[in-house]
């Protein structure tokens, strides 16, 4: 059953997890302009300011009509999170067809460099600013700075699965920056849905070899309907796994080893996921990897970022919701759970705040029900 009409009528509400947010909305060109302003603030580390733009963008995404002079005073000025400054920008766009600040920003060297730097795997805005302050301007500057040459060897796919094996968490940042630069062109290439599906098939073929009953869902942008993704996110559930102990991680490690042996992985690292709190311990593990499908007659090998999330039965459905996104949808889901329901939600589970009792949802819809929310189709979670 698709997202119902009641949800579609919810465009005035503050919580993104109560609104329908399509991938592409009626006001997309305006959102592209506001997106530049959001990104600029994020790159400069102005987090509060950036969040203001992010919220404004999300609210406009749910607005069902083309913004025009006729509905500006009746609807737009009453939308949540649109303060005077934001309304000024939208009015500017309405009257001139552009936003001056967005154009200035896009043209600036600093914005272009910071955007480029932070597009490298493992590089955040703070590192990007530091590189800029050190005088770097381009990805080529960055390759020289990190000593990554044309012929820098990327860890061989599958060749040394032992040395390459599970890299410790604290080693990931530096290593991933070098790998990110060596594979920059590959990792920048958008992944079509058909390739996401091929990757999923191959991974699950190996997973089922280890555990025939395991189940999976491709999450992330793919599930929200994006035609091209920046990475592949897969939640793998293990129905027969006992909680407690480290069976979830053990399965993850075995699968990673098999993928190395098949020659499709070249880097991997485990992360404990979300809150490692009492009852939730060991119920969810995430492996960040770099993956490439075997070469065939048609396609060259392209390296892709692949995140594998391993979930115990208690956390499978919350992991799916938590990893389907969008980021803003997730943020408001957590806020809704906390403020309105006295619960704590994240991908590692749903608990009552006062006694930390862990719910055991039986489906994704069940999680929405427990949270007192109407069902929203994944393709309408693009807040």
Q: Which of residues 233-252 bind Mg ion (CB under 5 A)?
A: 233
CB 230 within 8 A of CB 191: yes
Residue 262 interacting partner from ligand DCP, Mg ion, none (CB closer than 5 to 8 Å by kind): none
Of the pair 41, 223, the CB lying nearest ligand DCP is at 223
Q: Which of 176, 326, 348, 351 binds ligand DCP (CB under 6 A)?
A: 326
Give the dihedral of Cα atoms 345, 348, 354, 356; nearest 10 deg. 160
Q: Residue count at the site for Mg ion (CB under 5 A)?
A: 4
Candidate list 18, 26, 61, 89, residue with the active-site label: 89
Three-class DSSP category at 376: coil
Place of tokens 């733009």: 53
Answer with the entry of Mg ion, ligand DCP, none that 327 interacts with (C-beta below 5 to 8 A by kind).
ligand DCP
**What is the closest distance, in whole angstroms, from the C-beta atom of residue 74 to ligand DCP in the complex?**
33
Question: Distance (Å, rounded) from C-alpha 75 to C-alpha 116?
Answer: 37
Contacting residue, 33, 42, 54, 231, with Mg ion by CB under 5 A: 231
* Distance, first Cα to last Cα, the chain: 20
Give the one entry of ligand DCP, Mg ion, none that residue 330 binds, where binding means its C-beta sits below a cut-off of 5 to 8 angstroms depending on kind.
ligand DCP
Q: How far is the CB of 66 from ligand DCP (least distance, A)?
A: 26
| Residue 226 binds which entry of ligand DCP, Mg ion, none, CB below 5-8 Å type-dependent | ligand DCP
Do you find a cis peptide bond into 69, omega within 30 degrees of 0? no
Binding-site residue total for ligand DCP (CB under 6 A)?
13
The residue among 86 and 229 lying less far from ligand DCP, judged by its C-beta, is 229
Going across the sheet that includes 284-291, the strands are 215-218, 232-237, 304-311, 284-291, 265-272
The question of whether 89 is a catalytic residue gets the answer yes
Instruction: Give whichever of 76 and 220 is closer to ligand DCP, judged by the CB atom.
Output: 220
User: Of the listed pieces 56-64, 94-102, 107-115, 226-234, which binds ligand DCP according to CB under 6 A?
Assistant: 226-234
114: left (phi over 0), alpha (psi -120 to 50) or beta: alpha
Binding partner of 198, given Mg ion, ligand DCP, none, CB within 5-8 angstroms per partner class: none
Can residue 330 be called a binding residue for Mg ion (CB under 5 A)? no
- 233-292 residues in contact with ligand DCP (CB under 6 A) are 233
Q: Are 354 and 250 in contact (CB under 8 A)?
A: no
- 3-state SS, 66-130, equals CCCHHHHCCCHHHCCCCCHHHHHHHHHHHHHCCCHHHHHHHHCHHHHHHHHHHCCCCCCHHHHHH
Tokens of 197: 């599906």
Cα→Cα distances 160→66, 155, 165, 166, 348, Å: 55, 8, 8, 12, 32
User: Could you list the active site residues?
Assistant: 89
The site for ligand DCP (CB under 6 A) is made up of 220-221, 226, 229-231, 233, 322-323, 325-327, 330
The site for Mg ion (CB under 5 A) is made up of 220-221, 231, 233
């Amino acid at each position: 059953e698709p997202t119902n009409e009641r949800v579609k009528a919810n465009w005035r509400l503050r919580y993104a997890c109560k609104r329908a947010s399509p991938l592409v909305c009626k006001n997309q060109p305006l959102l592209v302009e506001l997106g530049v302003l959001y990104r600029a603030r994020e790159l400069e580390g102005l987090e509060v300011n950036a969040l203001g733009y992010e919220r404004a963008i999300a609210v406009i995404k749910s607005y069902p009509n083309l913004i025009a002079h006729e509905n500006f005073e009746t609807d737009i000025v009453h939308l949540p999170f649109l303060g005077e400054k934001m309304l000024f920008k939208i009015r500017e766009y309405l009257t001139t067809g552009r936003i001056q600040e967005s154009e200035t920003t896009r043209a600036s060297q600093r914005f272009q460099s910071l955007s480029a730097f932070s597009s490298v795997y493992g590089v955040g805005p703070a590192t990007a600013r530091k590189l800029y302050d050190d005088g770097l301007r381009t990805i080529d500057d960055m390759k020289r700075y990190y000593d990554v040459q044309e012929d820098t060897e990327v860890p061989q796919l599958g060749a040394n699965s032992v040395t390459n094996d599970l890299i410790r968490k604290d080693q990931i940042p530096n290593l991933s920056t070098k790998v990110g630069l060596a594979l920059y062109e590959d990792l920048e290439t958008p992944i079509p849905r058909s390739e996401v599906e091929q990757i999923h098939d191959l991974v699950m073929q190996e997973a089922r070899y280890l555990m025939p009953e395991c189940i999976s869902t491709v999450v992330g942008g793919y599930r929200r309907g994006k035609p091209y993704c920046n990475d592949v996110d897969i939640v793998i559930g293990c129905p027969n796994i006992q909680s407690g102990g480290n069976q979830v991680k053990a399965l993850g490690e075995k699968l990673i080893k098999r993928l190395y042996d098949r020659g499709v992985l070249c880097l991997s690292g485990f992360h404990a996921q979300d809150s490692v709190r009492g009852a939730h311990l060991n119920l969810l593990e995430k492996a960040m990897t770099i993956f490439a499908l075997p070469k065939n007659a048609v396609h060259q090998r392209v390296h892709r970022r692949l995140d594998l999330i391993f979930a115990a039965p208690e956390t499978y459905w919350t992991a799916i919701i938590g990893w389907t996104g969008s980021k803003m949808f997730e943020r408001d889901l957590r806020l809704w759970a906390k403020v309105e329901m006295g619960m704590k939600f994240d991908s590692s589970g749903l608990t009552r705040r006062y006694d930390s009792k862990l719910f055991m949802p039986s489906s994704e819809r069940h999680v929405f029900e427990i949270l007192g929310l109407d069902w929203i189709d994944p393709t309408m979670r693009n807040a």
